């Protein structure tokens, strides 16, 4: 089952809308998308995870990899997520301290630090 991925630009931010299940099989597609964006010069990413049904550690690894890549260009990677079951995975791995997590795309786009 493929994840759905779409991108759009708001100012200097690139919004990546992710949907479906992100696991060991589908995470490489998200990784490719993030790598491609950074290679094309998009260094301020907002990953909208409101449409994500399932996320495992492979997905977390891809997001951490994305964060490393944008930081190498002094960029940022912000997440949008309100789903408790997804947020729980970020909490138990301590990644809530690593990623800025927002409740809406608007809030993520407006954030500066």
Partner 1 sequence: MATVELRFSALPEHVRTARLVAAAVARRAGVDESVLDEVRLAVGEACTRAVYLHRSSGVDRPVRVVLVEDEKKFSIEVGDEVPDTGSSSTGAEGGTPSEEAEEEGQMGLAVISGLVDDVEVTSGEAGGTIRMSWPTTTAAVLP
Question: Using CB under 8 A as the criterion, which residues of the chain lie in contact with partner 1 when the complex forms?
Answer: 1, 21, 23-25, 54, 56-58, 60-61, 65, 85, 89, 92-93
Identify which of residues 15 and 30 has a Cβ nearer to partner 1 in the complex. Answer: 30
Query: Closest distance between partner 1 and the C-beta of residue 112, in Å?
Result: 29
Identify which of residues 53 and 106 has a Cβ nearer to partner 1 in the complex. Answer: 53
Query: Closest distance between partner 1 and the C-beta of residue 55, in Å?
Result: 9
Identify which of residues 54 and 109 has a Cβ nearer to partner 1 in the complex. Answer: 54
Query: Closest distance between partner 1 and the C-beta of residue 87, in Å?
Result: 12
Query: Closest distance between partner 1 and the C-beta of residue 110, in Å?
Result: 31
Q: What would the two tokens of residue 83 be? A: 């789903």
- Alpha-carbon distance of 86 to 71, in angstroms, equals 24
Beta bridge partners of 9: 14
Q: Could you tell me the strand order of the sheet in which 13-22 lies?
A: 4-10, 13-22, 44-55, 76-80, 101-102
Look at phi and psi of residue 18 and say left if phi exceeds 0, alpha if psi is from -120 to 50, else beta: beta
């Amino acid at each position: 089952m493929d994840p759905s991925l779409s991108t759009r630009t708001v100012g200097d931010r690139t919004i990546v809308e992710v949907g479906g299940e992100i696991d060991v099989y589908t995470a490489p597609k998200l990784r490719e998308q993030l790598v491609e964006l950074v290679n094309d010069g998009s260094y301020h990413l907002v990953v909208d995870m409101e449409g994500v049904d399932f996320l495992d550690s492979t997905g977390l690894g891809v997001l951490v990899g994305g964060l490393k890549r944008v930081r190498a260009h002094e960029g940022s990677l912000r997440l949008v997520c309100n789903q408790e079951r997804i947020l729980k995975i970020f909490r138990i791995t301590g990644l809530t301290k690593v990623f800025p997590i927002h409740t809406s795309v608007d809030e993520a786009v407006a954030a500066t630090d």
